[in-house]
Amino acid sequence: MRLAFLVPAPDYPDPWRWAFDAEAAALERRGVAVDPVVWTDAADLDRYDLILPLVTWGYHLRYTEWLAFLERAERERLPVANPPELLRWNSDKAYLAEFTWKGIPCVPTIEAQALSDADLHHAAQQFGTSELVVKPPVSASATGTHRIRPGDAIPAGEREQRMMIQPFLPSIATEGEYALIHFDGVLSHTLVKRPKAGDFRVQPSLGGTTEPCDTPDGAEDLAQAVLAAAPAPATYGRVDIIRGLNGELLVMELELVEPALWLDVAPHGEAAFADAVIAAAERLSK
C-alpha cells in the first residue's frame, strides 16, 4: 500500500515536518509506504492507493489553486480522504452558519461582506462585548486574525474584505481551546491549546502550546453533533471547542481539511489514525 501525503509548497513559511513526520511514521510502522507530495505540483497521483491532504498547509493563500485541485480530484476520481466535496465545503467557515441554523451552539459569528467600522460597532452591540475578533472565512494559521475594538483602526489588509466577526472569549487565555481528534467519527484523543502570555492565538508558530487533556464534560456530545451535521462522513477530523462568556461550550471550528492531529504529543492516537487511513485506502482503491 502506497499513500501520497500532500505537503506544502516550498515557499510556505511555517514549519510543517513536526506534523508530517509523526503521522507518516505511524503509517510506516504499519507497513504503509508514504510519499510526501507537494500539493501545488502533484502531477502523477494515479499510482497511489490513497491521497491524504493532511498537510496542505497554505491552501488558504492559494485558494484558487486549491479549488482547482479539488475539481481535478473529482474529475479524475482520485482516492482522496477526506472526499473532495467535504474538503470544499469545509474550506470556507461559512459552515458555522449552517451549524447555528441546525441548533448547534457555536461561537456567535457575523459575516461582513466588506468589513467596515459600522460592522464592528454593530457586532459589539449584538454580542454585548467591546472586544472582538475578526478573521477571514477562508483562513488557517491565524492568518488575517485580529483582536480589535470598535473604533480601532481596521488593518489595511482586512478593511473592505469579506470577514467574520466574533466576540473575544477570555477563556482562550485561561482555560484554553479544546481540540477533539476523531478518526472515522470516533474520538481518539483530546488536547488543550493555549496562547503565549499576552496573545490570543494558539498556533505553535505564534508561541502557542498544546498538550493532551481530559475531554470536558459535554464536549464529545457537541463534537458528535458537529460531525453528524457535516455533509459526508470523515476519515479524520478535529473539532475545536471553547468556553463562552457564560461558561457554555461552543464550537469554534470543524477542521476536516488539514488539521494538526498532534500525534507528536499524543502518540496514543497513532493506532486509531493508522486504522482509519488504512481502511480508507482499502475502501477507495477498490
Q: What residues are paired with 162 via a beta bridge?
A: none
116 located within any domain: yes
CATH number of the domain at 14, please.
3.40.50
- Number of alpha carbons in the 13 Å side-chain half-sphere of residue 153: 3
Domain containing residue 148? 110-167
Average pLDDT, the chain: 94
Question: What single letter denotes the amino acid at residue 52?
Answer: L
Cα 67 versus chain centre, distance: 17
Burial 192-228 (b: 16+ CB within 10 A, else e): bbbbeeebbbbbbeeebebeeeeebeebbebbbbbbe
SS3 41: helix
pLDDT for 102: 96
Distance from C-alpha of 262 to C-alpha of 212, rounded to nearest angstrom: 9
pLDDT tens track for 151-205: 899 988 889 999 999 999 999 999 999 999 999 999 999 999 998 887 787 877 7
Q: Residue 127: which CATH number?
A: 3.30.1490
**Is 67 inside any structural domain?**
yes
pLDDT over 80 (residue 282): yes
- pLDDT value for 204: 77
Residues 123, 93: Cα–Cα separation, whole Å:
18
77 part of a folded domain: yes
Q: Do both 130 and 64 map to the same domain?
A: no
Q: Are residues 278 and 234 in the same domain?
A: no
Which residues touch 248 (CB under 8 Å, ≥6 apart)?
105
Give the residue-averaged pLDDT of 267-283: 97
Indicate whether 264 belongs to any domain.
no
User: Residue 175 is part of a domain; what is its CATH number?
Assistant: 3.30.470.20
pLDDT of residue 286: 66
Average pLDDT of the segment spanning 225-247? 96
Place of cell 497521483: 45
C-alpha 37/C-alpha 43 separation (Å) is 9
* pLDDT over 90 at 91, yes or no: yes
